[in-house]
Amino acid sequence: MPLMGPKDMFAAAYAGQYAVGAFNVNNMEIVQGIMRAASEENSPIILQVSAGAHAYAGQVYIMKLVEAALQEDKSVPVVMHLDHGPSFAMCRDCIDGGFTSVMIDGSHLSYEDNITLTKQVVDYAHPRNVWVEAELGKLAGVEEHVSSAEHVYTDPDQAVDFVTRTGCDSLAIAIGTSHGAYKFKGDAKLDFARLETISAKLPGYPLVLHGASSVPQEFVKLCNDFGGAVGSAAGVPEDMLRKAAGLGVCKINVDTDIRLALTASIRQFMAEHPEQFDPRAYLTPARENVKKMVAHKIRTVMGSSGKA
Ligand code: G3H
Ligand code: 13P
Ligand code: ZN
């Protein structure tokens, strides 16, 4: 199956009250781990590439890896998405390069400037049949080009105005999640009342949840047991993510859990096999660990198994 846009994927997810997982890709083992999980679970999937992944691997390499993955299993519907597009120029390059979906992240700008930038991307993307995700509100924590000490939750009325004025196809909202491995100091808490209000004001409209890793404690423990210093990392509990998926959230973003799955496995392997130095020896179980984690997420968090 060729790459597809998220339109039909999200319409089905919205109607079926499940979400499609959007997983960040940076190298071959990650692409393979995610794709094999999607294949095993017979699930639609979104592969997303950040500006950092572009810089690390290069757009052509990533695109070719994804093309190779599409050959491996032709039955899984795959969207190729730019994650946190920092500028019009990068969105345009990805659109021209064959991505089927882009995110323009103007969340750090003033409201009006966010609208102007988002609309500029929409005006370029739509005639080329490419989907546009935008962001309103601020997630606490640090992203590559956006950092905010505090959450700025998405205002429901502003969300309606923003979607109407920009024509963006999906909207990332802030309801208490944050990027990275340290999301909550005490109990995890998301503003579900706000999510329900936004959803009610935008019926049928796909929302996106960033910063949605659940930070599995077994990976944190493995990292820490084998020389890491990941400390008291904490993520979004899986049942909260599942609940969000039934409230208009059609796309759930996961990156940190992939990093933890890979690193935990590699740390353990290195510690247990100090004589080994063949990268294939430690990347094989690491890739398998990513696959297992993604398959689990597809089944129990996204609810998208069997929806391909
Ligand atoms: O939201 C951010 C993603 O986790 C991507 O992270 O910019 O370090 O690739 P990155
Ligand atoms: P996590 O850091 O929770 O995995 O969030 C990933 C994300 O939002 C990518 O855009
Ligand atoms: Zn994000």
Which of the following CATH numbers is that of domain 7-220+232-256: 3.40.50.300, 3.40.50.10610, 3.30.1490.20, 3.20.20.70? Answer: 3.20.20.70
Q: List pLDDT tens digits, range 223-240.
A: 999 999 999 899 999 999
> Mean pLDDT over all residues of the chain?
96
CA gap 260, 241 in Å, rounded: 19
- Active site residues per annotation: 83
180 known ligand binder: yes
What share of residues in the chain are helix, strand, coil (percent, to 5)? 50, 15, 35
Q: List pLDDT tens digits, range 127-172.
A: 999 999 999 999 987 554 455 667 899 999 999 999 999 999 999 9
Residue 15, pLDDT > 60, answer yes
SS (H, E, C) 217-259: HHHHHHHHHCCCCCCCCECCCHHHHHHHHCCCEEEEEECHHHH
Pocket test for ligand 1, best of 23, 54, 103, 143 (most atoms within 8 A of CB): 143
Q: State the ligand closest to the CA atom of 51.
A: 1
Residue 303, pLDDT > 90, answer yes
Q: List pLDDT tens digits, range 63-78.
A: 999 999 999 889 999 9
CA gap 202, 13 in Å, rounded: 16
Token pair in block for residue 302: 């996204």
Q: Tell me the mean pLDDT in the region 84-97.
A: 97
Token pair in block for residue 32: 């393979």
CA gap 255, 53 in Å, rounded: 11
